[in-house]
Amino acid sequence: MKLIVGLGNPGDKYEGTRHNVGFMAVQTLADEAGVRLKNKGHQGFYGAGRVDGHEVMLLLPQTFMNLSGASVGSACRSLGISPGDLIVVHDDIDQSFGSLKLKAGGGHGGHNGIRNICQVLGHGDFLRVKVGVGRPVPGGDVARYVLSPFASAEKKVLKTVLENSAMAIKAVLTQGEQAAMNEFNKRTVTI
């Protein structure tokens, strides 16, 4: 079984913000696969099912982003998830809006949700699907930027970005990490 986690912040206040693109991507995957994220547990909402023939659990932690590790750690322990079976989808300000980057292992790269997951699990040996949200203008406040909604032009193509994210996750399941990286790390949706 693979555990696929979308990172974000709970509540209406954060819905549709750049920081919640991980939630949106995993919800898109759930909708496409017919997996309902209605179960409550592991400090989040989750659902289990099959994606392209592979058994998965999809999880949206309902802790705040900086405490995502509590939810992810609980699910990993409960399900006996090994590092290679964890996929975390999150926003990345170091990539332009519309780009994807799949990365196996490594550090947190300054992302507080990933930092907390690494602290709780005691390692960073899991796959990340980084969804580019771009950077604020030079001198702009990064926290304010990621907690703001997408710009009008971005909203017009956001659905395609989320669909690409779901396709990248499916490619990991069906073709393996390296083949998925080769295909999706070059893919960008332009405004």
Residues acting as catalytic residues: 19
Provide the 10 A C-beta neighbour count for residue 20.
25
- In 68-151, where does DSSP find H-type helix? 68-79, 112-121, 142-146
Cα angle 36, 93, 74; round to 5: 40
Question: Crossing angle of helices 152-175/21-33, nearest 10°?
Answer: 60
C-alpha–C-alpha distance, residues 31 and 106, integer Å: 30
Point out which residues pair with 46 in neighbouring strands.
39, 59
Q: How far from 120 is each of 13, 66, 69, 112, CA to CA, in Å?
A: 27, 11, 5, 12
| Phi (first) and psi of residue 44, to 5 degrees | -165, -175
